[in-house]
Chains A and B, each alone.
Chain A
Amino acid sequence: GHLIKHKDEL
């Protein structure tokens, strides 16, 4: 699977 790195989680 592709990895989206956006740190929107706490």
Chain B
Amino acid sequence: MNVFRLTGDLSHLAAIIILLLKIWKSRSCAGISGKSQILFAIVFTTRYLDLLTSFISLYNTCMKVIYIGCAYATVYLIYAKFRATYDGNHDSFRVEFLVVPVGGLSVLINHDFSPLEILWTFSIYLESVAILPQLFMISKTGEAETITTHYLFCLGLYRALYLFNWIWRFYFEGFFDMIAIVAGVVQTVLYCDFFYLYVTKGWFSRPYRL
């Protein structure tokens, strides 16, 4: 464990909690892409199946359980409890254009042609594009609530910190996973436009406008 991975995980956890609390407290999921949240639930489910097969550490197991729990709780709040506030018209990204190519790629390019490894690879590739429906929705509505921008900032920051974690691990441990690294770079690049606006526009005060 190194400082980049720890802060990355905490940033990811913060993002997940921020979103869940925002929906729960405001009793509304306006401006939130339910499709992205479904994709994240799929990402965690397909990546953390090893919860059933291997124990790495208490930290590892706890975080995985929390991620999966919060992901499904968020999907439940969006599509069941606060369904009336779900903005389906603006959440119109065709996720099949993501899932199908990602599924195909994970069968073609992976480290090992075993079910668990292919599912892990699928989850890595899917996570790199899972935020697109949310970014697409914001570009359609032209704005986002301030709390949603903080959620996106933490979410984007987590994988950027993981990039530093992989540099650290390559240098100190000789560990690197090309699939995770390439997908992580793609994932972080997708946030660049948003990061630029988040930092320059300083719109902590007013809604995020494209």
Contacts and interface: CB of A to CB of B under 8 A. Distances in A.
Secondary structure class of chain B's binding surface, majority of residues = helix
Interface string A1-10: 1111101111
A5 B50 CA distance: 14
Secondary structure class of chain A's binding surface, majority of residues = loop
B177 A10 contact: no
A5 B177 contact: yes
A10 B9 contact: yes
Interface of A: 1-5, 7-10
6 closest Cβ pairs, A-B complex: A4-B175, A8-B56, A10-B63, A10-B9, A1-B176, A5-B111
Interface of B: 5, 9, 12, 50, 54, 56-57, 60, 63-64, 67, 111-112, 120, 162, 165, 170, 173-178, 180
